Chain A
Amino acid sequence: AQTVTQSQPEMSVQEAETVTLSCTYDTSESNYYLFWYKQPPSRQMILVIRQEAYKQQNATENRFSVNFQKAAKSFSLKISDSQLGDTAMYFCAFGAGTALIFGKGTTLSVSS
């Protein structure tokens, strides 16, 4: 069975700084997808970024980028130039079959 582990329950960062959230996963699948979702206090789940396992190039979306290390089964999220609106819970998720497997999340606080 697949598992997703986020080892940082909470993190904090100052505005304009860079922060990296960690995620590791375990799977025997060779073809899969990885996602980072953001959940602000509004509770809405918002897709931040997605990575296909067969692509070696790391995905990037504006200030958000990932460091995907397939052999190490690691999928970290880097947020550059952090903004107050980035304050949220961030979930790493793994998809290879029907539904997503989520980690327990990391609460990120951005302060001014």
Chain B
Amino acid sequence: NAGVTQTPKFRILKIGQSMTLQCTQDMNHNYMYWYRQDPGMGLKLIYYSVGAGITDKGEVPNGYNVSRSTTEDFPLRLELAAPSQTSVYFCASSYWDRGTYNEQFFGPGTRLTVL
């Protein structure tokens, strides 16, 4: 199993440009997440999905959009990139069963710089 894969690993954007960060998991997990990690900080939740077709906002959703058309894929879309979106982005997945909080598996991260 490849686990959680993310592309690209690095990207530099100009202000106002758009891009999509790709995330795929092959563990048949129902839950998927997008976090951002700013320098010297912990991870903050951007969006999450509890299954195909169902998404919801996290703590810091402004400036982002997501979709979940399949169990495996959970892309994050940045529209009109701003310097405040310079960060490292992590995708994660887990199998959430009633009453049990299972480990979240993380992708390797995407370092995004907006200039």
Contact = CB atoms under 8 A, between A and B. Distances in A.
Interface of A: 4, 9, 32-33, 35, 42-45, 47, 50, 52, 91, 93, 95-96, 98-100, 102-105
B101 A33 contact: yes
Contacts of A95: 101
B106 A104 contact: no
Contact of B42 (A32, A91, A96): A91
B41 A100 contact: no
> Which 4 pairs of residues, A with B, have the shortest CB-CB distance?
A102-B42, A45-B106, A33-B101, A99-B45
A35 B94 CA distance: 14
Nearest to B58: A99
A105 B88 CA distance: 15
Contacts of A33: 101
B108 A43 contact: yes
B74 interface: no
Contacts of B92: 45
Nearest to B34: A99
Contact of B104 (A32, A42, A100, A104): A100
Contact of A98 (B31, B44, B108, B111): B31
A4 B42 contact: yes
A43 B42 contact: no
A11 B111 CA distance: 26
